[in-house]
Homo-oligomer: A and B are copies of this chain.
């Protein structure tokens, strides 16, 4: 049989095929917009041609000390220019970027450095104490490059970041991936139990999710993006790469405060920012003297925990335009979006917030998103009540867990990535998270969503933050116990809040206890419910 002509002499060659890599976005930004702002940090302001030069020097300097393809380069830095540059400079020599959460303790940092086999660690001296303690425990510590910015921690390495850049060649030829499946970064999950797992991203996924952030959030060219989301979190949800693709400005800062956010909006005309609900809380609770209602809309993307409707509402009242996304480290950050429909505009404020607090639908570049029964792997009905596990498939799902074949296989069982998050599917095909599998409260055989209770508590005017966990109960098996932080000067009592809940929810769902306390959080702002379980009151 003759060969099909579509299979004849129509193959890949240098002219018609290139491995996808977000590095190409930096090159284009610097070619097309060489003198436009790329990164702003305090008094410093870089242009795209400078950012490309600095990233190229970084790649070259790393290359000169023997770093290349599939070598790990770790970084521990706040949202400052070197952190942005690392997202291009490290891959530009073929290496893999391992951003380490700056809030981790020395033991965990040591675990990550050892497990990732990092050959180089670029570390801001703010974290010297932690880093020194971590390095002390390692047999093969990485080469350390210190970032001496405004902090005055100890120098641990032999060279400072800016000096190191000077050793690099500005004309260094990038080592772009031969295969877009090559690793670009390694991000350790902030597990609440057990050792963190190393999630490996490839150039292809980074490229595609960078574009999908733009199309999904309807971003025009030259956004002025404020870094409130830590770049160490899923590579800043791929936004360092998105911003290069559309020549946006990164407004950097070492730390995030409500006043700082309003200040940046005032001075830099910020157009976009991302953040967990903790950031929204900062904004809403900013001192009246520093807070103001915006005179143009600032777009905010929020994720991490389902934002309670009252918080979404308060943000909109201040003039922020909220978009709710959902994803995991394993899905390059956001992979699900509560795509807004104009027909919802006419609904009441509360209904709108309720609609928006749902997780939503798949990103344009995510192939499939489903809520499946994890046993039968069948989709749950679109009834808004049947709970299943959220599963993903597509090009923005990780390569796998680094050096962890068992967990990788478990995560990909049945051809889907298992998120571990439970959700229902609403009749309109928007999914709504009910809980992490392990956070469901089972009381008298009924599943109770901790999130539903938390949302009810958040609606109380005195409540600043709330988290609900299961408390063992002789009669019911479990009952909900609420941990609550009140706003300053607020007075609500345990009884007040229980009554508030009983007025609004089925009684079996109401917390039987309310404990007033600060909520322990992971470094990415998620409430650490396992800690709360350790603090359960004796009933």
Chain A residues proximal to chain B, CB less than 8 Å: 4-18, 20, 24-25, 28, 31-34, 70, 96, 117, 181-183, 200, 211, 214-215, 218, 220-222, 245-246, 339, 341-342, 361-362, 364-365, 367, 392-395, 397-400, 402-403, 405, 408, 411-412, 415-417, 429
> B16, A398: Cβ atoms under 8 Å?
yes
Within the assembled complex, what's the spacing in Å between the Cα atoms of A33 and B4? 38
Interface of A is mostly: loop
Known contacts A70-B6, A429-B31, A16 near B400 by CB under 8 Å? yes
Known contacts A211-B211, A214-B215, A220-B218, A7 near B408 by CB under 8 Å? no
Q: Which residues of chain B are within 8 angstroms of A10 by Cβ–Cβ distance?
A: 183, 200, 399-400, 402, 408
> B412, A16: Cβ atoms under 8 Å?
yes
Q: Looking at the assembled complex, report how far the CB atom of A116 sits from the nearest CB atom of chain B, in whole angstroms.
A: 9
Residue in chain B with minimal CB distance to A416: B15
Within the assembled complex, what's the spacing in Å between the Cα atoms of A200 and B32? 30
Q: Which 5 A-B pairs have the closest CB atoms?
A: A14-B415, A16-B397, A10-B399, A9-B405, A218-B220
Within the assembled complex, what's the spacing in Å between the Cα atoms of A411 and B10? 12
A sample of 8 more A-B contacts (CB under 8 A), given A13-B412, A32-B339, is: A5-B117, A6-B70, A9-B400, A15-B417, A18-B395, A31-B362, A215-B215, A218-B220
Known contacts A200-B6, A218-B221, A393 near B15 by CB under 8 Å? yes
Within the assembled complex, what's the spacing in Å between the Cα atoms of A200 and B5? 11
Within the assembled complex, what's the spacing in Å between the Cα atoms of A11 and B393? 14
Residue in chain B with minimal CB distance to A367: B18
Q: Which residues of chain B are within 8 angstroms of A395 by Cβ–Cβ distance?
A: 16-18, 20
> A393, B6: Cβ atoms under 8 Å?
no
Residue in chain B with minimal CB distance to A69: B4
Within the assembled complex, what's the spacing in Å between the Cα atoms of A367 and B203? 14
Within the assembled complex, what's the spacing in Å between the Cα atoms of A154 and B405? 64
Q: Looking at the assembled complex, report how far the CB atom of A245 sits from the nearest CB atom of chain B, in whole angstroms.
A: 6
> A393, B14: Cβ atoms under 8 Å?
yes
> B367, A31: Cβ atoms under 8 Å?
no
> B28, A364: Cβ atoms under 8 Å?
yes
Known contacts A215-B245, A364-B245, A6 near B415 by CB under 8 Å? no
Within the assembled complex, what's the spacing in Å between the Cα atoms of A31 and B96? 36
